[in-house]
Amino acid sequence: MVCPKKTTYGGKIIKINGWGRVMISIIGIGPGEKAQITPLAIEALKNSEVVAGYTLYIDIIKDLIEGKEIIATPMMQEVERCRMAALAAKGNKNVAMVSSGDAGIYGMAALMIEICEELGIREEIRVIAGITAASSAAAVLGAPLTHDFAVISLSNLLTKWEDIEKRLDLASQAGFVIVIYNPSSKKRADFLKKACEIVMRNISGDTMCGYVRNIGREGQTHKILPLKELKDEVVDMFTTVIIGNSTTRVINGKLVTPRGYRI
């Protein structure tokens, strides 16, 4: 008989492959392609009784969660979704909350933990890492994140635009490669243009950049282009943008930021 592997969590011993007392798994399912969902995430989904998530993400993994109880809500109902999932766990059910990319990077992990605290729910919580859009987009484009980089969302629903502008300004002053999430929407059609203009106060418009749309999904496309052209591109919420720094260049069709090993 093979004993389940164990590890410590919050000062307690819990099972890993047996899942023990872990009642809530907050799971990053990657950019969309099944092959980019980690084996640990698949195992957590398999062991869950209830799966909660944004409607689109539930649809992406529907063949992995057949027979499960589903909690699916549209965008802008994240708090209610977490409440329902937390209460299901309180009812002694093993719950999986899914996010695209990594659940701890602009995902549901923090909110789920906060909601559990508010509701006085003490079931074990396990955060399972996923492949975030920054790394999956970078892989499509080449190797633009080999050196220091910053990730900034242009969504101003939860962050004031003044704060976003300051972060773009300071990150570009500091020479970071900048990954941009949520670059545009119907209500924010000109936000990428604004972001590029802020960055161009500090770096050349000839700086090489790139973007990927629908990473790991049907219709994936990508483009490499200079910053001065990027500002006029039409993108959407399913696009991840990478703005290079002074060392970023194109090598054999790949966007590359050298690490400096050859210096």
Helices (H), the chain: 39-47, 55-60, 78-90, 109-118, 133-141, 161-173, 191-199, 227-230
Residue 23 is predicted with a pLDDT of: 86
Amino acid at 82: C
Burial per residue of 37-64, b for 16 or more beta-carbon CB atoms within 10 angstroms, e otherwise: bbebbbebbeebbbbbbbeebbebbeeb
DSSP per residue, 16-74 = SSS-TTEEEEEEE-BTS-GGGS-HHHHHHHHH-SEEEEEHHHHHHTGGGSTTSEEEEE-
**96, β-bridge pairs:** 25, 51
Measure the CA dihedral 151/154/158/162, to 10°.
Answer: 100
Residues of the chain where predicted confidence (pLDDT) is lower than 70 = 1-22, 262-263
What pLDDT score was predicted for residue 263?
A: 58
Give yes or no for a contact between 203 and 246, defined as CB atoms under 8 angstroms apart: yes
| Predicted local distance difference test score (pLDDT) of residue 52 | 97
Output the pLDDT for position 261: 75
Alpha-carbon distance 243 to 199, whole Å?
9
CB 193 within 8 A of CB 180: no
**pLDDT at residue 122, rounded to an integer:** 82
pLDDT attached to residue 22: 64
**Tally of CB atoms within 10 A around 212:** 24
Three-state secondary structure call for residue 78: helix
Distance CA 51, CA 84 (A): 11
Strands, sheet with 249-251, edge to edge from the N-terminal-most edge strand: 142-143, 254-256, 249-251
Whole-number pLDDT of residue 173: 98
pTM above 0.85, yes or no: yes
Cβ pair 117, 83 in contact under 8 A: no
